């Protein structure tokens, strides 16, 4: 087949204007939106858009998490003006994309099946044999093919200077952006309700309903209520937040490779309640990384044995593994002929002018126009920067030699002039280039195209980084035409699902929630200790009482591993101690490390937290991090920032109590908080009590302050400080949410409930620990001479606290072994020898 297609027109034509006609008039389909914008008071539209942008930022929609826990990198920003597409233009796009998806699905079925196109020389062998994204283990003509190779499809589309539409890139691997499309639409609907009332915009909700039905129909067993999961690369993937949005919209479980395992019956999800069979995987992970056994051995993201499970039909993978092989731009010149061969139709929506240099006529022509063309690697579908302007490179001759040496590895094309659409600025409307990302989903009679999508103003030349969702993103509004967007729902809508209260929680998520609870409480404890020490330094000259309390606080900080022993021994009014406490928040110091851990864990559990919790976490974490950075070295500002940290933890705890269902996830979150609080009280708050009774008066004041129990004590006992009432309040009082007994009883209750929910319990002798603490406290209620001089009470208190510390550490290890790592208990093999 001859694929050479040399564009006759010069690439210098003026870009198509989406808003204004050639006669300088506003296109009719934009007039409704612009009239709404004009009707708003001065600054009204700008204010609405700014609030919408702020909502997206606070919700973390525009950012991508980083492995070091630093502030999310802002990947894109919202453009408030949507792109308006007329019904006539949309008919062209809808029909063309649906046909293109059918064509690519048929092509995948052939290249991973009988390969007739290669045998008949319709398709050059080099397009597969030299393509690293063609996965030979996925080529198994002797096994039943998948129900559908191409389930989800996306394409980047541009409006050409002559008004026609052309495809810039096809996405058949794991198309991204559909989650953003829905989230941006909902955000704009809240910000500009007048526009949606005035402009007849087609709904995109039915597209996601069809998507859910399609995925359910892919289940190997068919019918019922199949378990469908979205396979992600994890929280550090560039579009992880978008994947969270999509999983919620489709009502599916978001999983990582570590959450899954392959058994004889297929792929299973590791949950607290055991292994749950997975019927369908919607993957957002490149094929090569999906199975380290047969595909890419160095991948830690996939599931060992997934390809074998898919091959035998026990799980359906959408899109089918290996589908990224046809994303190559080298395929574009062959698609018109393939459409006639596979579909018996003419291709309705062509690609932008591009030709593959594996054919000699195309190579000769490209080399003759070398200085005016852009050369792109033919098989680089990683979507990195790979447009190479010959004249702009540091060594054009080197590029020329590379192309001549391996021409089949390259494609060439002219520079692209995408259409221009209005963008809102403080100075009015400004034209910006646009690329449209449109989506299609398979159904019984072909493909359904989403009547909308995401348009982007790329941060660079659209040929430089195709596939990236960066720069300015905007909604796409397709105007309704009569009843064009009416969708009749399926008649079989209800399946009479059995009522259940439990939730199949992944072990990884439970682990992350447990440590999120621990780290948030650890942040609170650390901030309270440092604040107590700094508040005494900030008073100016200290008396003997303040010096004694500060000495005990520094020892407690050392016992908690927050400062070194030498720093703790520094004189209370020394420069060394002041520097140690005021630099506590610097990089590499405990508070900064705790904040990074919280950010990492929050990113990993994003799909399990409510939108309010996510927004609160993102906003408050960003605010306190900035305040801590600004307060470095300034005692007063640092005290205020530490107060913000404590209030942040209180806000998070309140949201977790009010906004999280009392399921297994909430229990692990709360167990983490309770365990960390009990440990802090034993090790940090009560450490002065294990010292000589000479310091107990200041130790009692500090214990009440750090446990936020001073007011309660004064109310009960007026002003008299005694060891027994103090220890009772911070250790045994069930009505005090800071008391150790309160934490132990809560942990015991959670463990009982988890045992009932999962059928497997972890034992923790909470009653024994409370009893030992009670016996020790009662010794302090006797005559003062008995406990001040004999030392029995002090020794028993030390012993009870040490046992509890060890028990809490063992509980954390047992929870990890029993619920998170799922490691069985050790046992002997074989018979012992005599």
Residues 392 and 520 in one domain: no
Count of C-beta atoms within a 10 Å radius of residue 370: 16
Contact 435, 456 (CB under 8 A): yes
Residue range 308-329: average pLDDT?
93
- Is residue 752, in this structure, part of any structural domain at all? no
Asked if residue 116 is part of any domain, the answer here is yes
Summarised one tens digit per residue, pLDDT across range 636-686 is 888 888 898 999 899 888 888 887 888 888 999 999 999 999 999 988 888
Distance CA 20, CA 683 (A): 71
Task: Return the closest-CA partner of residue 734 out of 767, 699, 694, 775.
Answer: 767
Q: Determine the pLDDT at residue 385.
A: 35
Calculate Rg over the CA atoms of the chain: 32
Q: What pLDDT does residue 57 have?
A: 81
**Per-residue tokens: 519:** 């780290």
What is the pLDDT at residue 586? 66
Q: Which residues is 152 bridged to in the sheet?
A: 441
Distances (CA, A) of 747 to 511, 678, 751, 766: 16, 10, 6, 8
Rounded alpha-carbon distances, angstroms, from residue 570 to 577, 581, 691, 697: 6, 12, 19, 22
Q: Are residues 473 and 527 in the same domain?
A: no
Residues 330 and 426 in one domain: yes
Query: In sequence order, what are the residues at sequence separation of 6 or more whose Cβ sits closer than 8 angstroms to the Cβ of residue 199?
Result: 32, 33, 36, 84, 477, 479
The per-residue pLDDT for 387 is: 47
**Residue 625's pLDDT is what?**
81
3-state secondary structure 703-734: HHHHCCCHHHHHHHHCCCCCHHHHHHHHHHCC
Residue 775 lies in a domain: no
Q: Quote the CA–CA distance of 180 and 184 in Å, as a whole number.
A: 6
Compare 73 and 772 and report the one with higher pLDDT. 772
* 114 and 202 part of one domain: yes
Strands (E), 329-457: 355-356, 374-377, 388-389, 410-413, 420-425, 428-433, 435-443, 446-449, 454-457
pLDDT per position as a tens digit, 383-397: 443 345 544 445 678
Average pLDDT score over the chain? 85
- Token couple for 579: 């520097």
Is the pLDDT at 785 greater than 90? The verdict is: no
Q: Say if residue 540 is in the same domain as residue 424.
A: no
Whether residue 809 is predicted with pLDDT greater than 60 in this model: the reply is yes
What is the model's pLDDT at position 8? 38
β 388-389/165-171 pair status: unpaired
Tell whether the model's pLDDT for residue 10 goes beyond 50: no
- DSSP code string of 331-353: GGGGHHHHHHHHTSS--SSPBPS
Residue 149 pLDDT more than 60? yes
Quickly list H helices, 112-238.
Answer: 116-119, 126-129, 178-191, 193-198, 205-217
* Overall average pLDDT of the 577-603 stretch: 80
Domain boundary among 627, 660, 693: 660
More confident position, 193 or 562:
193
453 versus 238: the higher-pLDDT residue is 453
CA distances from 113 to 107, 119, 146, 321, 323 (A): 10, 12, 10, 13, 12
For residue 105, pLDDT over 50 is answered with: yes
Q: Which of 607, 625, 660 is the last residue of a domain?
A: 660
428 and 354 within one domain:
yes
Determine the structural domain holding residue 641 and report its residue range: 507-660
**Residue 160 lies inside a defined structural domain of this protein:** yes
Residues 54 and 123 occupy one common structural domain: yes
**What is the torsion angle, in degrees rounded to the nearest 10, for the CA atoms of residue 500, residue 504, residue 509 and residue 510?**
70
Q: Are residues 117 and 60 in the same domain?
A: yes
Shared-domain flag, residues 183 and 86:
yes
CB atoms within 10 A of CB 833: 4
* Structure confidence at residue 790 as a pLDDT band (50, 70, 90): low
Q: Are residues 123 and 216 in the same domain?
A: yes
Report yes or no: 515 and 672 within 8 Å, Cβ to Cβ: yes
Least confident of 599-613, 669-683, 803-817: 599-613
pLDDT band at 217 (very low <50, low <70, confident <90, very high): very high
My answer on whether omega of the bond before 173 falls inside 30° of 0, hence cis, is no
d(C-alpha 437, C-alpha 182), whole Å: 13
Residue 26's contacts (CB-CB under 8 Å, 6 or more residues apart) are 19, 20, 34
Calculate mean pLDDT across residues 685-705.
Answer: 76
**Residue 231 pLDDT greater than 60, yes or no:** yes
Q: How far apart are the first and last CA of the chain?
A: 79
Q: How far apart are CA 434 and CA 412, in angstroms?
A: 22
Phi and psi angles of residue 92, each rounded to the nearest 5 degrees, phi first: -65, -45
Tell me whether residue 344 is exposed, middle or buried, using C-beta atoms within 10 angstroms of its C-beta: 0 to 12, 13 to 18, 19 or more. Answer: exposed
Give the residue among 294, 321, 271 at the shortest CA–CA distance from 758: 271
| pLDDT for residue 344 | 94
Q: Mean pLDDT over residues 529-533, rounded?
A: 88
Rounded mean pLDDT, 73-87: 89
CA distance 748 to 622: 35
Would you say residue 544 lies in a domain?
yes
- Six-digit token string for 223: 């019918």
557 & 644 share domain: yes
DSSP result, 622-658 = HHHHHHHHHTTT-HHHHHHHHHHHHHHHHHHHHHHHH
Q: Is residue 289 part of a domain?
A: no
Specify the pLDDT at position 58: 73
Q: How far apart are CA 621 and CA 692, in angstroms?
A: 40
Q: What is the mean pLDDT of residues 789-795?
A: 72
**pLDDT (tens digit, 9 = 90+) per residue, 306-316?**
999 999 989 99
- pLDDT above 80 for 226: yes
Under 8 Å between Cβ of 250 and 274: no
Closest CA to 74 of 233, 194, 238, 213: 238
Pick from 252, 337, 317, 285: which is nearest to 176 by CA?
285
Total domains, the chain: 2
Same domain? For 532 and 455 the reply is: no
CA dihedral 202, 166, 168, 472 (to 10 degrees): -40
Integer Cα distance of 104 and 95 in angstroms? 14
What local confidence, expressed as pLDDT, does residue 629 receive? 78
Distance CA 301, CA 821 (A): 17
Tokens of 29: 């389909």
Q: Is the residue at 517 inside a domain?
A: yes
pLDDT at 156 over 90: yes
* pLDDT, tens digit, 9 for 90 and up, residues 338-371: 999 999 999 999 999 888 999 999 999 889 888 8
- Among 660, 686, 721, where does a domain finish? 660
Q: Say if 576 falls within a structural domain.
A: yes
């Amino acid at each position: 087949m001859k694929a050479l297609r040399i564009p006759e027109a010069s690439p210098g034509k003026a870009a198509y204007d989406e808003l204004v006609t050639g006669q300088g008039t506003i296109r009719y389909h934009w007039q409704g939106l612009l009239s709404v914008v004009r009707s708003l008071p001065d600054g009204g539209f700008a204010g609405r858009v700014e609030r919408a942008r702020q909502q997206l930022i606070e919700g973390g929609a525009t950012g991508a998490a980083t492995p070091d826990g630093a502030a999310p990198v802002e990947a894109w920003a919202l453009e408030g003006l949507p792109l308006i597409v007329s019904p006539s233009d949309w008919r062209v796009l809808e029909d063309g994309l649906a046909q293109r998806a059918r064509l690519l699905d048929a092509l995948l079925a052939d290249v991973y099946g009988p390969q007739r196109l290669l045998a008949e020389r319709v398709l050059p062998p080099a397009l597969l044999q030299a393509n690293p994204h063609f996965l030979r283990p996925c080529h198994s003509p002797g096994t039943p093919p998948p129900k559908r190779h191409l389930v989800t499809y996306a394409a980047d589309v541009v409006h050409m200077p002559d008004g026609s539409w052309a495809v810039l890139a096809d996405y058949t691997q794991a198309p991204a952006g559909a989650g953003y499309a829905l989230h941006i639409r909902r955000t704009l609907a809240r910000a500009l309700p007048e526009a949606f009332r005035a402009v007849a915009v087609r709904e995109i909700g039915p597209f996601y309903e069809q998507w859910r039905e399609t995925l359910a129909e892919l289940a190997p067993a068919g019918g019922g209520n199949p378990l469908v999961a979205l396979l992600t690369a994890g929280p550090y993937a560039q579009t992880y937040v978008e994947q969270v949005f999509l999983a919620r919209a489709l009502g599916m479980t978001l999983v990582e490779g570590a959450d899954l395992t392959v058994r004889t019956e297929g792929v299973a999800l590791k949950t607290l309640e055991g292994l749950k069979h997975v019927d369908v995987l919607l993957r957002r992970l490149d094929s090569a990384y999906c199975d380290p056994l047969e595909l890419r051995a160095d991948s830690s993201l996939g599931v060992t044995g997934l390809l074998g499970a898919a091959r035998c039909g026990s799980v359906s993978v959408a899109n089918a593994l290996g589908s990224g092989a046809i994303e190559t731009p080298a395929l574009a010149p062959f698609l018109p002929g393939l459409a006639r061969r596979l579909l018996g139709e003419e291709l309705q929506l062509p690609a932008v002018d591009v030709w593959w240099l594996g054919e000699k006529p195309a190579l000769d022509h490209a080399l003759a126009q070398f200085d005016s063309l852009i050369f792109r690697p033919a098989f680089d579908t990683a979507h990195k920067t790979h447009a190479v302007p010959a004249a702009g490179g540091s060594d054009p001759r080197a590029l020329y030699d590379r192309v001549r040496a391996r021409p089949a590895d390259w494609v060439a094309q002219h520079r692209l002039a995408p259409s221009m659409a209005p963008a809102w600025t403080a100075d009015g409307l400004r034209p910006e280039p646009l690329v449209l990302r449109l989506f299609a989903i398979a159904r019984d009679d072909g493909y359904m195209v989403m009547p909308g999508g995401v348009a982007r103003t790329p941060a660079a030349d659209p040929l430089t980084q195709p596939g990236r969702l960066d720069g300015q993103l905007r909604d796409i509004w397709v105007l309704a035409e009569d009843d064009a967007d009416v969708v009749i729902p399926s008649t079989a809508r209800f399946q009479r699902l059995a009522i259940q209260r439990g939730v199949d929680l992944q072990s990884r998520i439970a682990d992350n929630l447990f440590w999120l609870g621990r780290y948030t409480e650890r942040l609170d404890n650390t901030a309270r200790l440092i604040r107590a020490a700094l508040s005494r330094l900030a008073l100016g000259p200290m008396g003997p009482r303040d010096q004694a309390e500060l000495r005990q606080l520094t020892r407690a900080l050392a016992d908690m591993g927050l400062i070194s022993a030498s720093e703790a021994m520094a004189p209370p009014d020394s420069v060394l101690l002041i520097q140690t406490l005021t630099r506590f928040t610097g990089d590499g110091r405990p508070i900064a490390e705790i904040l990074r851990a919280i950010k990492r864990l929050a990113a990993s559990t994003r799909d399990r937290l409510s939108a309010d919790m996510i927004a609160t976490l993102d906003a408050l974490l960003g605010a306190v991090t900035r305040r801590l950075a600004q307060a470095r070295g300034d005692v007063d500002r640092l005290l205020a920032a530490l107060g913000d940290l404590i209030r942040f933890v209180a806000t998070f705890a309140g949201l977790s109590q009010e906004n999280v269902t009392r399921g297994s996830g909430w229990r692990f979150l709360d167990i983490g908080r309770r365990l960390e609080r009990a440990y802090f009280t034993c090790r940090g708050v009560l450490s002065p009590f294990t010292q000589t009774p000479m310091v107990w008066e200041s130790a009692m004041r500090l214990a009440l302050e750090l446990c936020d129990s001073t007011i309660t004590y004064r109310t009960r006992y007026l002003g008299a400080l005694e060891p027994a009432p103090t220890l009772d309040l911070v250790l045994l009082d069930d009505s005090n949410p800071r008391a150790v007994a309160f934490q132990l009883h809560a942990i015991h209750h959670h463990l009982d409930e988890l045992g009932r929910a999962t059928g497997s319990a972890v034992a923790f002798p909470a009653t024994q620990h409370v009893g030992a603490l009670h016996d020790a406290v009662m010794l302090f209620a006797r005559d003062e001479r008995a406990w001040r001089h004999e030392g029995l009470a002090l020794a028993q208190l030390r012993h009870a606290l040490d046992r509890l510390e060890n028990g809490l550490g063992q509980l954390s290890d047992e929870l990890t072994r029993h619920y998170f790592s799922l490691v069985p208990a050790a046992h002997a093999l074989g018979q012992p020898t005599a």
